[in-house]
Chain A
Amino acid sequence: MPVLPLLGDEAIAQGALDAGLSGMYAYPGTPSTEIMEYIQRSPLAAQRNVHREWSSNEKTAVESALGMSYAGRRAMAAMKHVGLNVAADPFINSAITGVIGGMVVVSADDPSMHSSQNEQDSRFYGKFAMVPMFEPSTQQEAYDMARYAFGLSERVGLPVLLRMVTRLAHSRAAVKTVDTPGEENKMHLPSDPMRFVLLPVNARKRYKVLIGTQSHLVEEAEKSPFNKYIDGEDKSMGIIASGVAYNYLMENFPGQKVPYPVVKIGQYPLPVDMIRRLFDEVDKVLVLEEGYPFIEDQLTGLLTAGKVIGRYTGNVPRTGELDPTIVGEVLGLEPKKAFEVPADVVKGRPPQLCPGCGHIDVYMGLNKVMEKYGPGHVFSDIGCYTLGALPPYNAINTCVDMGASITMAKGAADAGVRPAVAVIGDSTFTHSGMTGLLDAVIENTPITVIISDNSLVAMTGGQESHAKDRLVEICKGLGVHPDHIRTIVPLPKSRDRIAQMIQEEIDYDGVSVIIASRPCVTHTISLKRKQRAKQQTNK
């Protein structure tokens, strides 16, 4: 039984491969990126020629995974939590069509927003879609659950959601893996393809099937190896702990048993009987869960407050990540902190654009022009260039969700804002900027779009960008007038020319795109190395 030192993300990837995965689909996003990267490095994936190229965005990833499942084979799609917003449409609807080959969607949440714009809890999507869901607490469970999830998915004919959180995704530990990876499914077309035609007449039937399966999903959860009732002497309180919150609970009782009865949750929908048993035995129930009060919400509803305590009741902090210290406090244990941070000498050290980065030249040029218009005219997006919001640049005024720079600039221009400038990265542009640009082209809205193109996805550590060398053609294809598609290499010496170009395009009363292209100074070499290694394993 090989034992491998794996990140939580890598454990999922290995688990999927060992379950006979045929297709991996993903768009990068912290903390989920390492799942695809592991599969791209995996000799087994290369030998089996498992699909392992990045998708343009999370929606295309989930749809492709569904297509592979339609053809009978096992597929996985991975994304960060906000990626599931983008993929919500195919995800929710894949529960209506159901799946043929096992399909697992991994969504990695980021409590405390280490690298994200919110800390939304993906478990609500699982419940919304009415599909089974897993929440690992250890790397070993991440591996075991990934393997198990494909079988369950095929057994119940539904996609399965695997919910990760940053801490587990990016923590490494030894994982026991199987000796022989499972075989891949053979390709075959569905025997009843009509179920994939979600015309109302079919969708209504399929929806009833989904509803009908729910009680079976609860039965699966009751007997799941990942849900456990652990008895305890002290019945003054019972604890329901899920995912990594369970670890933080255990950390507070090293080498001992937890004195209270504990229900450990790793598989959803919630095992009702197990929870009812706990309720009947104890005076109150503490819910420890990473993320939103998801379990607590289901236990208390609107009216039955009192017996359940957790994030809603303020016994556990309402926001932010848990850790062993916080859980110790919640349990009323003696704090062990011995030293404070000497705040007078420890200053904040925010992330910054790397010295020599092309985004800097773009912003320096842009700032020269925008000075006379005052703040409020620059709509931006998500990527390394978002750091342009901080000093010394203070160059951008928005960052909301991927692609929103172009569309928000358009809306502001519609409202009369002149000039309205959008700054977007190359990968964000192909993720979801292109459709917004088409909107602007249709109406010839006066916006100036700057694509700051470093020819890779830098924010997430240097992955291939789908925009590569295609930006001019894409913009032409979308209908931007060729005279107003401008290109430049952003360098310190070209800042004045960038400024001049921006000014000219601002003065034009229509859609223009300025493409500023220079490879990322930090990740280009390592990406080339990765690409070469991939070619090697493919031989």
Chain B
Amino acid sequence: MKTDIVLSGVGGQGILTIAAIISWAAVRNNMNVKQSEVHGMSQRGGSVYSHLRLSTEPISSDLIPYGGADLILSVEPMESLRYLPFLSKEGWLVTNIKPVKNIPDYPPEEDLIKAIEQLPHHVYLDADKLARDIQATKSANIIMLGAASPFLGLKYEDLEWAIEKQFKSKGQDIVDINKKALKLGFDEAKRLFPDMA
């Protein structure tokens, strides 16, 4: 069993937190994990991505080959499309639709949605709005994790356990709000895209 994931977003949007939570959950299931991160220059408001590989078999490469990813999980719509060559034919693209417009030539949002809808398997939602609704503006990333949770090959309760582990040091309130965010993302994705796995 293997799941190859490309995480993407803009520096500061918390994709490494998502990666850490998925990794904990995978390790709990005795899976091998390799997670390549981006540090340095691009973290400053530029495009960032992480390759996260989970497998019951040994993993050779830290990077996913083109056409190999089972999932692109993105916290920003334009960034979700940047890594499409990595997505496998059967793979899913799950993305937040709220744009980060820190460049002058940011494309019209309708065009982004059109490009996303052309993919055979996609889920998109406004995680920033949902996060505001539950007063958890910092948890848009966890909402996206919830939306992508059916595609990870991991049990939902293992993700909850991993959230507990990730946020425990910040107090029970933070753990609870993130569990709520996870659930909200999962429910909302199901509601909007009932055909998803």
* Bound Cα distance A63, B112 (Å): 54
- CB contact between B65 and one of A7, A244, A336, A339 (< 8 Å): that residue: A336
**Chain B residues within 8 Å of A470, by CB:** none
Interface string of B39-62 (1 = CB under 8 A from A): 111111111000100000101111
> How many chain A residues have a CB neighbour from B under 8 Å?
51
* Chain B interface extent, by class: 35 or more
- Let me know if B39 and A30 touch, CB within 8 A: yes
- CB contact between A347 and one of B78, B89, B91 (< 8 Å): that residue: B78
- Let me know if B43 and A351 touch, CB within 8 A: yes
- Let me know if B44 and A351 touch, CB within 8 A: yes
**Chain A residues within 8 Å of B85, by CB:** 337, 339-341
**Chain B residues within 8 Å of A328, by CB:** 65
**Chain A residues within 8 Å of B60, by CB:** 247-248, 250-251, 254, 324
**Chain A residues within 8 Å of B105, by CB:** 347
**Chain B residues within 8 Å of A173, by CB:** 32-35, 59, 62
**Chain B residues within 8 Å of A338, by CB:** 67, 87-89, 91
- Let me know if A172 and B37 touch, CB within 8 A: yes
A459 within 8 A of B: yes
**Chain B residues within 8 Å of A339, by CB:** 84-85, 87, 119
Given known contacts A336-B67, A349-B46, A170 and B38 CB-to-CB distance under 8 angstroms: yes
A344 within 8 A of B: yes
**Chain B residues within 8 Å of A251, by CB:** 60-61, 65
- CB contact between A114 and one of B34, B40, B51, B59 (< 8 Å): that residue: B40
B11 within 8 A of A: yes
A474 within 8 A of B: no
Q: Whole-angstrom distance from the CB of B127 to the nearest CB of chain A?
A: 19
Which of A7, A324, A349, A461 has the most B CB atoms < 10 Å from its CB?
A349
A interface secondary structure, majority: loop
* Bound Cα distance A373, B115 (Å): 47
**Chain A residues within 8 Å of B27, by CB:** 5, 174
Q: Which of A150-206 contact B (CB under 8 A)?
A: 167-168, 170-174
In the complex, residue of chain A having the shortest beta-carbon distance to the beta carbon of B118: A342
- Let me know if A352 and B82 touch, CB within 8 A: no
- Let me know if B23 and A5 touch, CB within 8 A: yes
Interface string of B65-82 (1 = CB under 8 A from A): 111100000000011011
Q: Which of B169-197 contact A (CB under 8 A)?
A: none
- Let me know if B67 and A170 touch, CB within 8 A: no
**Chain A residues within 8 Å of B103, by CB:** 347-350
Known: A173-B62, A461-B43. 12 other contacts (CB 8 A): A30-B39, A31-B39, A168-B62, A170-B37, A173-B34, A325-B66, A336-B68, A339-B84, A340-B85, A346-B107, A351-B41, A461-B39
* Top-5 shortest CB links A-B: A336-B67, A115-B40, A30-B40, A351-B46, A171-B36
Tell me the A residues contacting B by CB distance below 8 Å.
Answer: 5, 7, 30-31, 33-34, 114-115, 167-168, 170-174, 244, 247-248, 250-252, 254-255, 323-325, 328, 335-342, 344-354, 384, 387, 459-461
